[in-house]
Each structure stands twice: as C-alpha cells, then as structure tokens.
Amino acid sequence: MSRQRNLGMGGAGKSAREPAGKMLMADIRPNTEVEGQFVVRQKRLVPFKDPSKGSYLSLRLGDRSGELDARMWDKAEAFAKQFEEGDVVLIEGRAETYQDRTQLIVTGLSRIAPEQVDVADFLPQAERAPDEMMADIVAICKTVQQPHLRRLLGAFFADETFVGRFKVCPGAERVHHAYVGGLAEHTLHVGRLCEAVCQIHPRLDRDLLIAAALLHDIGKVQEYETGAAISSTDEGRLVGHTVIGYHLIINALIKIEGFPEELGLRLGHVVLSHHGKGEWGAPRDPALPEAFALHHAENLDAKVNRALDQVDKARQQGQRWTERDFFLDSALFVGEPEAED
C-alpha cells in the first residue's frame, strides 16, 4: 500500500479533516473534469516547435496528497505573468492519459491570495507525529555518555525554540524526506542505523558517531522555509546546510566549559564529511572511521526513502517500472499494480 505522505499520487481518499467536495490530487483519475486548488511546484514556459505559435506552460502541481504534471496550451504567456512557483492557484481543466501517465490539461487558472491559503493542505506530512519522533531522538541523546557531547546535544534538543523548528522542518526540497517532519524522521533513522553499526563494530567511538548522526543535518532548519511549498532560503542556497550546521555546532560547543579541542575537531569533521565526496556536497572527504559510518548510514536512509517513494508514485500511476531516477541512478521494478481496497 502507498503511504499517506507519498510525493507521487499517494494516500488516495480524503482524511477526516478534509471538507466535503474538496478535490485532492490523489483522487484525480484520467478522463475526469478537474477543479481545485493546488500549489505550483514547477513552472516553465516552453516554446512550441513552431516558434510562430509562441509557448505553452509546463507545470508541476501538487497538494499534500501528491503531484501531477500539467500543461496549458492557450494564452500561456499571459497566464504565466499572474503567478510564480510556490503560489497556490485555482485551476480548471481535465485529466487525461499521456504516455501511460495521468496529466492535467489546464483551461483556466487564477492565483489564490496567500492569506486565503491553509499551508497544511499543500505540504505532505511524515507518517509519524513530529513529537513522537522527537521523543525518540531525545531518548537516543540520553544514551551518549561523554559529558561534553551530551551537553552539546542538550544545547539543541532541549531548546524549545530550536526543537519547534527542527521537528517540522523538511529533509529536502524534493530529493528525499521532502515533507513536514522529514528532517526529524531522517535524523531518527540515521541515529538508529548508527546505533546498529556500533553494535557490529564496537571499536567505533559510539558517543562521537551518535552525536554526529543527530546533529549532521541541523543546518537544514536555516536552509529551508515552508509555505505552501518547500523552498530554500538565501542562506541555504549560498552556504548550504552542512556548513550552516557546522557553525551552529561550533558556536554551541565553545560555550561548554572544558570541551576537548580534539573532540570538537573530530565531531566537526564527521559532520562536514557526511555527504562523502566533494561532488556530493561534502567540504571534506571522510577521514575517520566514524565519518565513513555516518556517510553510509545517511546515504542509505536517503536512498531507501527515495526508492520507496518512487515505487509508490509509479504504482499509483499503474506503471510496472519507475522512470530512471537521477538520485538513485536507476529505474526500479514495481511489478503488478496493487488491487484497490
């Protein structure tokens, strides 16, 4: 079964809080009329093959239940001036099948004023409640025995303001864990994976690895902002979460009396190298056993999350295979479509 927060066409059916008659993306089927409010996740004006005909609008529209590609053939240039990516629009049109996939043909479109938008309708949510995941993260923090690292973790995860931002922050804009609560979910999974690695390899510095696992993505609270869509802040685009997080950690640990200098260096290195290679966004390649462990645990969780969502999306579209995914560098086998409940 697909998951409620699937970024494809997941979670078919209305929730208890959904107003009667409100159309969800997950409910749209081919050969049906469509009228609903959706957030514009991607927007492009694409020239027709015959330049004299101008351009058409290529859109990616979504809500909290899923996303679909859309096309607007007529008066595209005029309509494109009325809205931007991240805006919520009321669309009229029709769903049809194109290359075995559902696609929207938009015939009418108008922008919805931001004050009239309930952002909860447009952002997918993690499967578990954020407070539940935070309780599990705090429980892992309490297993760290090294006193300076434990105080450092408390500087973040006992801070109500930080936790308030962290627990609803997405894990990414689109690639993996791209939903409210995604950062907490990813952090918890990476922490648990690192706990398992430490059981298999007890020579690892468990306290160092667990602390780094729980702190490695804290910079994302300043990298992303959420409205009706997830977007990057200027700081996120110019600096990136890895370096932002590193500075947050250093600024916190220098306030902890007697924090060992080499321990700070090791922790900073493990966090800075968690993407594994420079071309993948790591300022430094891993140079400690704990750094290799964190990189592969983080990468494993991100890629499994992406793979599951791609399979869910393809299954909802009735496809036996996913399209080739840039992040996974592979197409995934889906198999026979699941029978509907």
Q: What is the pLDDT of residues 272-299, one digit of tens each?
A: 999 998 888 889 999 999 999 999 999 9
pLDDT in tens, 176-218: 999 999 999 999 999 999 999 999 999 999 999 999 999 999 9
Cα–Cα distances (Å) from 195 to 64, 207, 272, in that order, read 32, 10, 20
Residue 324 has what pLDDT?
A: 92
H-only helix segments in 90-223: 130-141, 147-157, 160-166, 182-200, 206-215, 220-223
Q: How confident is the model at residue 114 (pLDDT cuts 50, 70, 90)?
A: confident
Q: How confident is the model at residue 339 (pLDDT cuts 50, 70, 90)?
A: low
Residue 337 has what pLDDT?
A: 67
Q: How confident is the model at residue 8 (pLDDT cuts 50, 70, 90)?
A: very low
What is the distance between the alpha carbons of residues 328 and 300, in angstroms, rounded to a whole number? 11
Among 64-68, 246-250, 273-277, top mean pLDDT goes to 246-250
Lowest mean pLDDT: which of 2-16, 109-123, 136-150, 317-331?
A: 2-16
pLDDT in tens, 302-333: 999 999 989 988 887 778 899 899 899 999 99
Higher-scoring residue by pLDDT: 116, 298: 298
H-only helix segments in the chain: 76-80, 130-141, 147-157, 160-166, 182-200, 206-215, 220-223, 234-238, 241-253, 261-272, 289-316
Q: Is the pLDDT of residue 3 over 70?
A: no
Q: How confident is the model at residue 52 (pLDDT cuts 50, 70, 90)?
A: confident
Residue 171 has what pLDDT?
A: 95
The model scores a pTM over 0.85: no
What is the distance between the alpha carbons of residues 65 and 330, in angstroms, rounded to a whole number? 25
Using only the alpha carbons of the chain, give its radius of gyration.
Answer: 22
Q: Is the pLDDT of residue 9 over 80?
A: no
Percent of the chain topping pLDDT 90: 71
pLDDT in tens, 260-270: 999 999 999 99
Which listed CATH number (1.10.3210, 1.10.760, 3.40.50, 1.10.10) goes with 130-305?
1.10.3210
Look-up of token digits 């009418």:
108
Q: What is the mean pLDDT of residues 49-56?
A: 89
CATH architecture of 25-118: Beta Barrel (2.40)
Cα–Cα distances (Å) from 38 to 103, 162, 223, in that order, read 14, 30, 24
Q: Is the pLDDT of residue 172 over 90?
A: yes
- Cβ proximity of 176 and 283 under 8 Å: no
Q: What is the mean pLDDT of residues 14-27?
A: 58
Q: What is the mean pLDDT of the chain?
A: 89
Q: How confident is the model at residue 51 (pLDDT cuts 50, 70, 90)?
A: confident
Residue 115 has what pLDDT?
A: 86
Q: Which tokens sit at 18?
A: 């959904």
Residue 15 has what pLDDT?
A: 35
Per-domain residue ranges for the chain?
Answer: 25-118, 130-305
Q: How confident is the model at residue 338 (pLDDT cuts 50, 70, 90)?
A: low
- Cβ proximity of 63 and 7 under 8 Å: no
